[in-house]
Structures are given as structure tokens and as C-alpha cells.
Structure 1
């Protein structure tokens, strides 16, 4: 049986701890400069999309339509967003230039991590699974790994701004590792669409909240309403609470009392002693 890439990494790759050292420096003078920016699958997290579309001053819908492939369903469980590469010989990233990345300050998590990758054996059944970094092996020779500049993993994360991405992505990761999905359950078309809209198409999600009966059905504090009306990061955090409520029935949102009573009467529960 052929091993998957993940299985190979978990079984064979050297583990790097926060204090582990590696050598790396990427600069324009290297002959392989930007070679790693093409013909690669870059899955985007919700926070990646938020940062990139903000940097480009695009609506979420326009960004998704122009720069991503249609949502993928990994094992028919959750929609996943993949960055769309250019249709050229190198399948180059749409943001790479001869000078480097044109959205460098808002580049995705995986680009920040490079030349490191992260592997995890964590699942809903195994929350204590192993998680570690490793040095990515490329088909081409990455000359940056032969440079003299030395880093620890911890230093690299700090230098590349990884911590804020990890913090913002943690609620999303918790949802994707929820026991519901590891038990083999999947989302139907309607809930898959809702998941995609809530995580990635934030402008449409905001319209759903403010231009539908949403706020008349749920108790949302005035301060939260004020924040999510303007702040996309606050909106994304609110969206994760909404998903935990709507997908898993968790008490992350509260239905208004009058709405609950109306539903109770509709179901005839008020006549039950």
C-alpha cells in the first residue's frame, strides 16, 4: 500500500520542537527565488482570506471569485478553499512578482511557515495527538536552506507573524476536528453552503445577519452588534460561535425568549404537562 504524504511525515520526518534550529534565508539573489511560489496547493483558512481580501481592498465575494477555486469537500465533510494559480507554464501564484510577494504583509499562513510545515495526528478521538514542525522537502533544491542564517522554530514563528494566525485559526481548527466529523457524519448541501458563507464570504454573512430576521431571533449584545457591523475579525469570531450553535447545538448563541416560546406553541409543547 502506498503511504500518504501525511503518513510519511508522521512516521519518517524529523520532529522540530520550538527550540530546534534550522538554517534558512530567502532573498532575490538566489537562483530559486520564488520557485516555491508556483505549482503548489495552498489551502486558505478563513483568516487567510480575511487578510488577503482586506489587503487587496476587495469584497469577500470578488476575492473568492477571482483568486480561489470552487469550494472543495474533503471526504465530503467540509468545504475547503484553495488558492487559484495562474494558467501559465509555472502555475505561478497570482501574487508573485520578480521582486517577491505583492501582498507579503498579508500572505497566507502556509507561506509564512515556509520552509517549515506542520503535521498533526490530532483527531476528535485523539485530542492528545502529536503536533510538530518539520522542514519541507522540495523537488527543486531550495538554496535558502543552505544559507548561513540560523533560526529556532520559535524565532521563525515570531519573525513571520505566525502566532496571530494560529490564534485566529484555532476556533476554526476546533470546528473542523469536532467529533461529529470524525464519526463520519457530513454536512448536507445547505449546511455546507452556510459553512462556506460564514467562514469565507464574510460580506454576505454580514448581510445575512443585518438584512434578515437573524437579530430578531437571537439575543446579541449591543456591543457585539456594533463590532460585527464594521470589524471583520469580530464578525469571523461571531461566525464561529454561530457554526458551533447551528451545526453542533452548542450554547454559543441564545435564542430570544419570545421566539423560543413561539416555537414551543407551534410544536404544541405548551399543552404538555
Structure 2
């Protein structure tokens, strides 16, 4: 039997979060009456998930590409260079949507803002196909919301903030991230084309729609007329995008393809790889010959120092 070791309080780290569940009670509230109102928005570091972008681009009357260009900045989420998106801020780190009276896009604010006061953790145990969701208190030094008199369960707080709708639509995308992370070296670093697809399918839904409507996509995947018509709905198309990512990145076949199209694509890709290799070899030989000629012209033996 493993020995249980008690750690005295003075040796316990505050950096290890206490994991909360939906039934955990917290004492927290955020509203215009708190003295720190808007402070969090003036030190904004907001990572966006796919449904955040759907809501915000619709609220602002923009395409997803326009929204990404005007209101976001890219970053790398891991050592492989997997792209992520954050809300753009001004030079003082203030959110571009904050006003003195509060958030100007409050009804469509991102999930990270809705969760504020709490952090979200998704965990998948080794060998499990399901992830579990936990929460933790995110107590920032300036935040007075933790001194509020409101006592509420995490479940009710999430309902109050309108989080469940966001979590439901983003869940499959979060599962993709967890699967990639848990697979680790097994899948290796995705190629640049996979990153392009991942970015488009996750964050640029209007460009993804044009991609799905393109002749090249129709040659590869069998999509019914009813499905194509349904893709005018952003949420339906977003969920299809997640399915496509699972199929391309993890070979989870849920979207039928035309017979032999994948084999043909692989043969075409092999031809491209061979041509690139041949070009690289020819370039290397050309440079070696140029160096040899330069050495001869200078009176030196090739390779001499």
C-alpha cells in the first residue's frame, strides 16, 4: 500500500490550483458596482475559440477574415507551431471593445471573458476517449469580485454568464486539442498544409465555406445537396469543420470520399515530393560546381582553405 504523506500548510504551494466541479460553491460576482470594474479589460489577454469568432464577427457585421485581420493577433500554442488567436489590444494592453460603461460587445463576449473569476481545465486520462472538465479560482490581485456577497455554485455561475452554449459548440475543438496533445510524438509535427487547414477550419469559417464549396473539395468528398445548403449556417458548418479536422489529422473517417481519390492524391503528393527532392539535388550540384569553378579561377584547389 502506498504511504500517504501529509504536507503541512506552510509547505503547500498556492500555484497548485484547487480543482472545482459544477457543484462547488464560490463567493464571487462581477458587476459595474465593484471598484475594479473594467480593470481586467485594461490588462486583456484573451485567447479565442472558434465559437467566439462566430459570435463576434456576426455582431460586428464582418466576415471572419475581416474580423481576424482587424481584431486579432496570432500566436503559437505549442512547440510545433500550432496557431492560436488572441484579441487585439491597444499599446497599453487594453481591450479594443471596452468602454467606460463596460464591454461594448457584452452579449457576444468571448467564453474567456464569461468565465472570468474562474479558469477552465479539460483533462483526458491516459487510455480514455472522454475528457473531464474542471474549474479553478483565478484570483487576480486587482479583482474585488471575490469580496462579493454572492454565493453561487459553479454550475449556476456558468448559466448566469451564458457559458454552456459556448462550451457545447467549442467542446469538439477542445477535444481535438487534447487529442493532439495526448498523442504527442505519435502524430509528430503536422505539415504546413495541415496547419493551413487547421487555422481555416478553426478560425476563418467564411473562407472555410468557400473552400467547401470549391470544385476541388467536391472532387474529394461526397457531400449531399442538403448538407451543402445547411452549411450556410455558421454553427453547422463549424461542426463539420471539426469533423474534417478529425479525419485529416487523426484519420477518423466520418466524411465519405470519392473512390480512390485519397490514393490518387497520395500519388500526386509523392510526385511533388520527388520533384522537390530532384530540384534540391540539382541546386546542390549547381552550387558545388559554382564553388569548384570559383576555386579554380582563384588558383585554389576545390575544398582548400
Tell me which of 208, 220, 225 is aligned to 1:222: 225
1:238 & 1:128 partners in 2: Cα distance? 20
2:220 & 2:108 partners in 1: Cα distance? 36
Q: Select the structure with the greater relative contact order (CA < 8 A; seq sep ≥ 6).
A: 1
1:64 & 1:115 partners in 2: Cα distance? 26
Moved more, 22-31 or 167-176: 22-31
Residue 14 of structure 1 deviates from its aligned partner by 2.3
1:143 & 1:73 partners in 2: Cα distance? 30
Cα pair 1:53 1:60 within 8 Å, conserved: yes
Residue 212 of structure 1 deviates from its aligned partner by 3.2
2:43 & 2:191 partners in 1: Cα distance? 32
Residue 180 of structure 1 deviates from its aligned partner by 7.2
Question: Highest Rg: 1 or 2?
Answer: 2
Tell me which of 91, 99, 102 is aligned to 2:101: 99
Structure 1: tracts of 5 or more residues without a match? 1-7, 268-273
Structure 2: tracts of 5 or more residues without a match? 1-11, 270-305
Residue 36 of structure 1 pairs with residue 37 of structure 2: no
* Structure 1 residues 70 and 81: alpha-carbon distance in aligned structure 2, compared to 1, 3 A threshold: same
Cα pair 2:25 2:151 within 8 Å, conserved: yes
Moved more, 37-46 or 155-164: 37-46
1:102 & 1:11 partners in 2: Cα distance? 33
- Per the normalisation by structure 2, the TM-score is 0.75
Cα pair 2:74 2:83 within 8 Å, conserved: no
1:160 & 1:226 partners in 2: Cα distance? 32
Tell me which of 78, 84, 87 is aligned to 1:74: 78
* Structure 1 residues 87 and 189: alpha-carbon distance in aligned structure 2, compared to 1, 3 A threshold: same
Cα pair 2:119 2:135 within 8 Å, conserved: yes
1:151 corresponds in structure 2 to 152
1:86 corresponds in structure 2 to 90
Cα pair 1:42 1:110 within 8 Å, conserved: yes
* Structure 1 residues 179 and 72: alpha-carbon distance in aligned structure 2, compared to 1, 3 A threshold: closer
Q: What is the aligned length?
A: 256
Cα pair 2:71 2:87 within 8 Å, conserved: yes
* Structure 1 residues 261 and 143: alpha-carbon distance in aligned structure 2, compared to 1, 3 A threshold: closer
Tell me which of 23, 33, 42 is aligned to 1:19: 23
Task: Write out per-residue CA displacement over residues 114-144 of structure 1, whole angstroms, 9 at most, x where no aligned residue.
Answer: 111123443665667764211112122x222
Cα pair 1:25 1:149 within 8 Å, conserved: yes
